Structures are given as C-alpha cells and as structure tokens.
C-alpha cells in the first residue's frame, strides 16, 4: 500500500489537499472510492478506511474540503460549490465513477453529488450522515446555530487538548489522535485555533439547515447505503428519519445500524466500516444491526 499527498486546484482557484491510498496489488474487481469528511474535520480520519480498502485491492482518494485540514480557505461553502470541488477532484485524480463515501455533513454532500451528478459516481454511502435535516429539529437558523456552534478555544491550552483527545481515543487505531486534531492548530502562545473559522463554520451550518436530503434522496439514481450509529440519547440518524428515507428513496437504499459506536465510527472502527461497504457492493446480505 502506498499513501501519497497531492494538491488539486479547482475551477475557482482554491487548492485542495488530497490523500490517496494506492493498493500494492491489483484485483479483478478493483473499485475506486472518494472519501469525504464531516464538518470541521479532515481527510486524516479516513486513513484507516483507506488502508483497509487498499489491502483489499481498491484505490481511494480522501480530500480536505475547502477551509478544512490542509486545503485553502474560502467563504464559498454551499453544497453546489462543494460538489463542484469533488467533481474536479474526481477528474484530476482519474477516479472512474467512484463510490462516494461521506461522514456526517459529508454524507449530505455525497448525497447531493449523487443526486446532481449520477454520471460521476457509482453509488453513495452515508456514514452516520447523509440525511441530516436540521430544519426538522430547529425553528430557524439562529436556534440551530445556538445549539450547534462549536466551542470557543480562547482559554484552552494545546497540551490540555492533546491530552483530552488522547484519552477520548484510547484503544482506537493508531493515528486517531492526530486525525482528530487535524482541523486545529497550536498558536504561538500554546493556545488553540481552529482551521475552520467560526464565521465559515456558521456558513456551512446555514447551508446544511436549508438542505433537504429527503428531496435529494427521491432524485437519487444510484444506490445508497446508510451506516447509522444508534443508542441512547439524540442521534444523527434516528428511526423516524430512517423510516422516512425508505419511503422517499427512488433508488435502492440499504441501512445498517451500528449500536454504541462513536459518531466518528470510520475512525474508531475502520475495518467494520470497510467490511460493510464491501459486502454491500458485492451484493451480500447485510445485517440490520452490526
């Protein structure tokens, strides 16, 4: 397996950072994958999945979306703009109709990609995301932002943040701590700053608030898999949303529930996520709960 990093300049001049996992051996049923992270996240969270895909003979490309990770910043953060970026990445890296896999907000992004550009992707996967509908949960954008705004880092020290992330990801695969710190940076005084500014974070939340995933699902022409983390407390994909998705889907839709996992299950259990995606693509029977 080979991991390489490259940059792709998209049509409005923003430069996107791309991590590519290339298999060491070729297989007859080799596929390609486009891996898309969630809000205020980065491509490093896909390294475990990328490695597992490469071990099975498949090539994958994970991208730092604009204003995230090592990519260039931009105030243009709507779904149309992000989808155009992904189309450019697919073309620049030579992926041939990849399976687009997105986590959280990235799941909604790949759903939009599949619904508007079915010529570009062979299928889409939402990893604890894809059907996020904030307008169903909040009265307006201001109420949504009040609930979902990221924490402020004014009084947080980088060393304390590192220790907290290390404790949270104890027992997770190697690289988990680095990945979860990948959208934050230490400042000159040992404090913490976010790569994604608070203003840009709100812009994405506003666009997500106005996204209508069930409408996009009804327009989707390629198959979709949902991997839904379930358990006690509020969840991104609850049973009501899953039921509604089955009713709305125009193309084949499969759902696997993952009890008790972290929202970043692709980082926590990359082998599980990779296996389920592989079984789905190969037409094997999927468990309702895994």
The DSSP string of 90-105 is HHHHT--SPEEEEETH
Instruction: Give the integer Cα–Cα distance in Å for 109 and 16.
Output: 16
Provide the CB-side half-sphere exposure for 54 (13 A, CA): 19
Q: Is 277 strand, coil or helix?
A: helix
Residue 289: predicted pLDDT:
96
Q: What are phi and psi of 118, to 5 degrees?
A: -65, -15
What would the two tokens of residue 253 be? 């839709």
β pairing state of 32-36 and 59-63: parallel
Q: pTM score, two decimals?
A: 0.97
For each of the domains in the chain, give its residue range(s) and CATH number, in order of start.
2-134+211-281 (3.40.50.1820)
Residue 11: predicted pLDDT:
95
Contact 268, 158 (CB under 8 A): no
What would the two tokens of residue 86 be? 């992904």
The closest alpha carbon to 19, from 63, 55, 56, 69, belongs to: 63
Residue 238: predicted pLDDT:
87
β pairing state of 99-103 and 192-194: unpaired
Instruction: Give the integer Cα–Cα distance in Å for 287 and 258.
Output: 10
Residue partners of 5: CB distance under 8 A and separation at least 6: 17, 18, 19, 20
| Helix H or strand E segment including 125 | strand 123-127
Strand residues in 11-121 grouped as ranges (E):
15-22, 32-36, 59-63, 99-103
Instruction: Give the integer Cα–Cα distance in Å for 59 and 212.
Output: 31
Instruction: Give the integer Cα–Cα distance in Å for 211 and 214.
Output: 9
Residue 26: predicted pLDDT:
81
Contact 123, 115 (CB under 8 A): no
The mean pLDDT values, 10 residues at a time, for the chain of 290 residues are 90 97 88 98 98 96 98 98 98 97 98 98 98 95 96 93 95 95 94 96 98 96 97 84 93 96 97 98 96
Contact 61, 87 (CB under 8 A): no
Distance of CA 28 to the CA centre of its chain: 28
Residue 139: predicted pLDDT:
96
């Amino acid at each position: 397996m080979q991991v390489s990093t490259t940059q792709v300049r998209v049509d409005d001049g923003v430069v996107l950072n791309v991590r590519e996992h290339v298999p060491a051996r070729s297989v007859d049923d080799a596929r390609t994958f486009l891996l898309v992270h969630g809000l205020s996240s980065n491509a490093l969270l896909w390294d475990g999945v990328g490695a597992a895909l490469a071990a099975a003979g498949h090539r994958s490309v994970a991208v730092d979306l604009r204003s995230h990770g090592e990519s260039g910043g931009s105030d243009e953060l709507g779904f149309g703009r992000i989808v155009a970026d992904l189309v450019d990445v697919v073309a620049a890296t030579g992926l041939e109709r990849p399976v687009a896999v997105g986590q959280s907000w990235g799941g909604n992004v790949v759903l939009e990609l599949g619904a508007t550009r079915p010529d570009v992707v062979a299928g889409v996967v939402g990893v604890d995301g894809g059907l996020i509908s904030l307008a169903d949960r909040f009265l307006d954008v201001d109420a949504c932002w009040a609930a979902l705004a990221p924490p402020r880092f004014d009084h947080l020290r980088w060393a304390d943040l590192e220790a907290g992330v290390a404790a949270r990801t104890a027992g997770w695969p190697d690289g988990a701590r680095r990945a979860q710190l990948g959208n934050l940076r230490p400042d000159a005084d040992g404090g913490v700053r976010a790569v994604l500014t608070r203003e840009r974070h709100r812009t994405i939340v506003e666009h997500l608030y106005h996204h209508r995933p069930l409408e996009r699902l009804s327009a989707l022409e390629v198959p979709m898999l949902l991997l839904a983390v379930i358990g006690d407390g509020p969840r991104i994909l609850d049973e009501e949303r899953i039921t509604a998705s089955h009713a709305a889907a125009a193309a084949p839709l499969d759902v696997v529930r993952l009890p008790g996992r972290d929202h970043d299950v692709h980082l926590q259990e990359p082998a599980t996520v990779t296996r389920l995606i592989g079984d789905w693509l190969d037409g094997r029977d999927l468990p309702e709960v895994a």
